[in-house]
Amino acid sequence: MSVPSHPKSVDEIFQHCRSRREGLLRALTEEAEQLAAACSPERENLCLYGETDGSWVVDLPAEEVPPELPEPCLGINFARDGMQRSDWLALVAVHSDAWLYSVAFFFGTKLEKEQRAGLFQKLNEYPSLYEVVTGAAKSRSSHAGSGQPSKRRRVDMGSTSGAARASESPLPTGRLLTASDISASLKGRQAELFWPADKMWYLVEIHSVGSKNKSAKVQYTSGEFEELDLEETIREGHMSLITR
């Protein structure tokens, strides 16, 4: 699906900003060394841009005044060697979050009040870049498009002594959870839970099931627990039940 360069609807603006976020997230995590190398303090004022194709670039600010889009934080390269690398990445992440929201509401300023609120809910489905970079991602706000608060809680996989087992794709022996699976018989079953923020499937064990309110309590291999809204999880296709 192509990303509109001049989005107008809530969904188009969300798609536009989500693609830019993917680029920024990549720069601040898996490609952090490349980012740091591109931010030499000997260069002029530099900005970190997330692109609509999911890539990122460190470049000078736009020359036109006013620019086509709000500008990211200027001069991120000058602080690179003046603090711990993790602190520098966290600082850049904060400003990148601010830039993403400024871009979203730059396009969303012509939306109606309710539409702007809906746009914010969609954006807030994902943890902030700062939360991801610092490992402080604790919660997810709302299911995109549902308009209802999500019961999913973003756990910190690195907060316990054991690392959470994760993979890029679910086990071939598994299948997506369905509504007909929701019963007490799920207790003790193993499954995999998908997190869109890092695009990984995490192994969990189902500790309890609430058949009436369609909920479940699961435990990650790291020891972390999470309460799930099973109807939401099924709707999103985010749980793969490992077959016996």
pLDDT for position 174: 85
180's CB contacts (< 8 A; 6+ apart) are: none
Sort strands 56-59 and 47-50 into parallel, antiparallel or unpaired. antiparallel
Question: Rounded distance, CA 78 to CA 46, Å?
Answer: 9
Question: Rounded distance, CA 231 to CA 143, Å?
Answer: 11
For the chain (244 residues), the mean pLDDT of every run of 10, in chain order, is 76 92 92 95 95 94 85 94 93 96 94 92 85 66 35 45 64 86 91 85 91 89 85 89 78
Whether domain 166-242 has CATH 2.30.30.140: the reply is: yes
Question: Rounded distance, CA 164 to CA 162, Å?
Answer: 6
pLDDT for position 127: 83
* Token output for 78: 């000058």
pLDDT for position 157: 46
Q: What is the pTM of this model?
A: 0.57
pLDDT for position 225: 84
pLDDT for position 168: 81
Question: Rounded distance, CA 19 to CA 87, Å?
Answer: 25
Q: Where in the chain are the domains? A: 10-134, 166-242
pLDDT for position 140: 38
pLDDT for position 33: 95
pLDDT for position 4: 66
